[in-house]
């Protein structure tokens, strides 16, 4: 099958590479010529395990193509994916200008039947807007062409996106058009061999399913963080509580880890967008707003613990930070708790020595050169001249450090663990003071 994908960012590139991997001819279209030139040289602009090799392999095999030519893309595939960004507006709503611009490009250049697939995360009703946009352009062209607009939301986890696409839990498709249903069955057949993963529904339900999934997961995280603050106040241990409730199969262990807040490109944006969508139809989503409010408060938690430890005297203090990405196995720092902590520390007059196994370059891109930031080449290097250590991302290489070395290097023997990855007794036995989330400080 010939497939066109508009947008060569995270979702578009993973989708294109995986569809090419199973034998399809895929053309990825992007307006950024620098990005396309990089991709044509197998230079991947994002970090995702396995993606660089897959792109290189399929480009060499002649199945994966890159272009900035929207007309070429519109002519290439019967299936036309829209996988462009939907950044939040100031009011939290999703900005659909790029989605609608792609719809206009497809309508301007199409010469035969097209199935236009919204892969981007978009509010309920976006397919209707895309359909109206295409209809308007075709009417202006006086072109008697047919098309179908369907929803096919992505459920890719950063750091595991290739596995998620190749071995999906479910494939949600929003369409009631029999012709489109058959095409989607054919397209996804290679990923659907073990058992039936395709779930067909109406377009509006498919659009809401994506938001609902992310909002549910964000709710579990914020609930656990709320509970961790209660536990810490009561003298309980949230990690023991987590095990106790996670053993209930109705609850399970996934997404109930307390920490310093969630980040990334999906949960914060999608929760805000769903709140805005609800308000647009006259419904006040109290729970969803609380999920967002709790998360914002949780991102401040480590700063307040550090500030209290120094009795408010943060000017000229230096904080070592382990972990910058919003989670392991990605370089994505969008909405990352590390950014909140660093910016609050800078505002208070402190300095930062930071390290992340993957996201160092992203840190430099975001903040540039500044006198109160040193980007280090390894975790141990951050401790040189540092007063305390804050752990923000639970990378595997941070999980079994040399605590004696940490104690000897820090001016103040204190670790602030935003992910509860250390055993308090082990840290205490090394002579370190230990602050974590939802547990009593170990002094």
Tokens coding 168: 């999906």
> Rounded to whole angstroms, how far apart are CA atoms 343 and 259?
18
Q: Give me the phi and psi of 117, to 5 degrees please.
A: -115, 120
Beta strands 64-67; 79-82: pairing state: unpaired
Burial, 432: exposed, middle or buried (Cβ in 10 Å; 0-12, 13-18, 19+)?
Answer: buried
Which residues have a catalytic role annotated? Answer: 266
* b/e sequence 241-269, b meaning 16+ C-beta within 10 Å: bbeeeeeeeeeeeeebbbbbbbbbbbbbb
Tell the residue number behind the tokens 């290739």, with chain if given.
162
Tokens coding 309: 């430890």
> Rounded to whole angstroms, how far apart are CA atoms 4 and 29?
7
> Rounded to whole angstroms, how far apart are CA atoms 291 and 278?
15
> Per 3-state DSSP, what percentage of the chain is helix, strand, and coil (rounded to 5)?
45, 15, 40
Residue 374 vs residues 137, 283, 288, 340, 352: alpha-carbon distances, Å: 52, 47, 37, 17, 6
Tokens coding 375: 């980007």
Strands across the sheet containing 147-151:
64-67, 25-29, 2-6, 79-82, 114-118, 147-151, 171-174, 198-201
Cβ contacts of residue 137 below 8 Å, gap of 6+?
104, 107, 108
Instruction: Considering only CA atoms, give the Rg of the chain.
Output: 24
């Amino acid at each position: 099958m010939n497939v066109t994908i508009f947008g060569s960012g995270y979702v578009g590139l993973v989708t294109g590479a995986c569809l090419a991997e199973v034998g399809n001819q895929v053309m990825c279209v992007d307006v950024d010529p620098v990005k396309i030139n990089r991709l044509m040289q197998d230079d991947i602009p994002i970090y995702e395990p396995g993606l660089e090799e897959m792109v290189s392999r399929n480009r060499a095999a002649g199945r994966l193509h890159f272009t900035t030519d929207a007309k070429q893309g519109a002519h290439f595939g019967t299936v036309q994916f829209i996988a462009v960004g939907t950044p939040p507006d100031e009011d939290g709503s999703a900005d659909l200008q790029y989605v609608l611009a792609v719809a206009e490009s497809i309508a301007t250049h199409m010469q035969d039947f097209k199935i236009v697939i919204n892969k981007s995360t978009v509010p309920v009703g976006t397919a209707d807007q895309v359909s109206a946009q295409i209809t308007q352009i075709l009417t202006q062209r006086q072109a008697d062409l047919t098309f179908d607009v369907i929803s096919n939301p992505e459920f890719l986890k950063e750091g595991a996106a290739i596995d998620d696409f190749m071995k999906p839990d479910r494939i949600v498709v929003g369409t009631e058009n029999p012709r489109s249903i058959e095409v989607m069955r054919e397209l996804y057949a290679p990923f659907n061999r073990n058992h039936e993963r395709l779930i067909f529904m109406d377009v509006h339900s498919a659009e809401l399913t994506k938001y609902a999934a992310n909002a549910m997961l964000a709710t579990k995280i914020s609930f656990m963080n709320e509970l961790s603050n209660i536990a810490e106040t009561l003298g309980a241990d949230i990690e023991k509580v987590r095990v106790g409730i996670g053993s209930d199969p109705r609850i399970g262990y996934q997404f109930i880890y307390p920490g310093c807040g969630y980040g990334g490109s999906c949960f914060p944006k999608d929760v805000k967008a769903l709140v805005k969508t609800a308000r647009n139809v006259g419904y006040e989503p109290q729970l969803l707003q609380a999920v967002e409010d709790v998360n914002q408060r949780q991102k401040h938690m480590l700063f307040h613990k550090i500030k209290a430890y120094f009795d408010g005297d943060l000017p000229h203090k230096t904080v070592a930070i382990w972990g910058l990405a919003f989670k392991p196995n990605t370089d994505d720092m969008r909405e990352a708790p590390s950014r909140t902590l660093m910016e609050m520390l800078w505002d208070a007059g402190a300095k930062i020595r930071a390290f992340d196994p993957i996201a160092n370059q992203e840190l430099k891109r975001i903040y540039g050169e500044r006198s109160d930031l040193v980007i280090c080449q390894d975790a141990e290097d951050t401790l040189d001249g540092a007063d305390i250590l804050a752990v923000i991302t639970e990378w595997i290489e941070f999980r079994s450090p040399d605590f004696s070395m940490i104690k000897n290097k820090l001016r103040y023997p204190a670790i602030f663990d935003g992910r509860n990855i250390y055993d308090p007794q082990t840290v205490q036995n090394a002579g370190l003071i230990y602050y974590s989330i939802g547990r009593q400080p170990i002094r």
